[in-house]
C-alpha cells in the first residue's frame, strides 16, 4: 500500500468528487454521497491551511480511495481514512462511522450497543488511533452532517438531536477543533457542522450556534 502525501491526497479527493458527480444523477443517495466527498475535500483544505497540521492517507487500493458508503465501524481493512496530526495529537478523519451516544453512556448498560445507542456521522474527526469498535462520543473531535437536497427545517431539528448525543450543553469551552471554531458551548467541546447545498440554510445559521450547531451553506 502506498501512503499518499497531503498534495496527492487532495488530488485523489478531487478525482473522487468528479467520479461521484458522474453517477450522482442516478439517485438521491448517490447525490448525498457525492456531496459528502465534496465537503470532506473542503474540510481537508481547511486543515491543510492551518499551521501545524499534517495529513496523509494510506488507501487499501493504491489507485483509489474507498470510504464507507453507509453506517459502519472504523474498519481499516475495508474503508480508507485520513490521518491528521497536530503536534503529538493523532486524529482520524472518517466517513459514515457510527459512534456510541451520550444516552448510551448515561444508561449505564454493559451490553453491546443497539441501533438506538448508535448515531452515524457523515464526516467525523476522531481521537486516534481508532480500533475496530465503535468510537465513543467522547472521542469525537469534530462532526459534520451533509445535506445535498432542498433545505427543510426538519434537518435542523434532526441535527439538534445529534448535537444532544455528542455532549452536554455548557459554558463556552476551548474547541477541540480550533481550526473550525474557537469556542464551543458543549462538553466535550466538539463542534457539529451542518453543511447544506441550499442557500436557504443560512436562515438558521444564527441562534443554533449558541447550542454548538453551526449551519454552513456550501454549494
Kindly report, residue by residue over 14-62, the tens digit of the pLDDT.
Answer: 888 777 777 666 677 878 888 999 999 999 999 999 999 999 999 888 7
State the pLDDT at residue 24.
64
Give the β-pairing of 192-196 and 213-217.
Answer: parallel
The residue that leads in pLDDT, 39 or 1, is: 39
State the pLDDT at residue 30.
79
Q: What value does the mean pLDDT of the chain take?
A: 92
- Tell whether the model's pLDDT for residue 160 goes beyond 80: yes
Rg (CA), the chain: 17
- What would the mean pLDDT of 148-152 be, rounded to a whole number? 93
Kindly report, residue by residue over 133-145, the tens digit of the pLDDT.
Answer: 999 999 999 999 9
Distance in angstroms (rounded) separating the CA atoms of residues 149 and 88: 39
Alpha carbon 83 to its chain centroid, in Å, reads 13
- What would the mean pLDDT of 80-100 be, rounded to a whole number? 95
The residue that leads in pLDDT, 66 or 171, is: 171
H helices of the chain, in order, are: 6-23, 28-48, 102-107, 153-164
Distance in angstroms (rounded) separating the CA atoms of residues 181 and 193: 10
Q: Evaluate whether 67 touches 37 at the Cβ level (below 8 Å).
A: yes
pLDDT band at 64 (very low <50, low <70, confident <90, very high): confident
Give the β-pairing of 140-147 and 82-86.
Answer: unpaired
pLDDT band at 1 (very low <50, low <70, confident <90, very high): low
Amino acid at each position: 500500500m502506498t501512503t499518499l502525501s497531503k498534495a496527492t491526497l487532495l488530488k485523489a479527493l478531487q478525482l473522487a468528487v468528479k467520479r461521484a458527480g458522474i453517477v450522482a444523477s442516478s439517485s438521491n443517495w448517490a447525490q448525498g454521497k457525492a456531496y459528502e466527498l465534496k465537503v470532506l475535500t473542503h474540510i481537508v483544505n481547511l486543515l491543510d491551511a492551518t499551521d501545524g497540521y499534517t495529513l496523509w492517507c494510506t488507501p487499501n487500493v493504491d489507485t483509489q480511495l474507498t470510504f464507507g458508503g453507509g453506517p459502519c465501524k472504523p474498519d481499516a481493512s475495508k474503508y480508507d481514512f485520513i490521518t491528521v496530526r497536530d503536534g503529538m495529537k493523532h486524529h482520524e478523519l472518517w466517513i459514515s462511522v457510527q459512534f456510541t451516544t451520550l444516552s448510551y453512556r448515561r444508561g449505564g448498560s454493559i451490553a453491546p450497543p443497539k441501533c438506538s445507542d448508535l448515531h452515524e456521522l457523515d464526516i467525523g474527526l476522531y481521537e486516534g488511533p481508532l480500533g475496530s469498535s465503535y468510537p465513543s462520543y467522547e472521542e469525537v473531535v469534530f462532526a459534520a452532517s451533509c445535506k445535498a437536497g432542498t433545505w427543510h427545517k426538519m434537518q435542523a431539528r434532526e441535527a439538534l438531536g445529534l448535537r444532544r448525543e455528542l455532549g452536554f450543553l455548557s459554558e463556552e469551552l476551548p474547541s477541540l477543533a480550533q481550526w473550525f471554531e474557537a469556542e464551543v458551548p458543549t462538553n466535550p467541546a466538539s463542534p457539529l457542522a451542518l453543511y447544506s447545498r441550499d442557500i436557504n440554510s443560512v436562515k438558521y445559521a444564527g441562534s443554533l450556534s449558541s447550542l454548538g450547531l453551526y449551519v454552513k451553506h456550501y454549494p
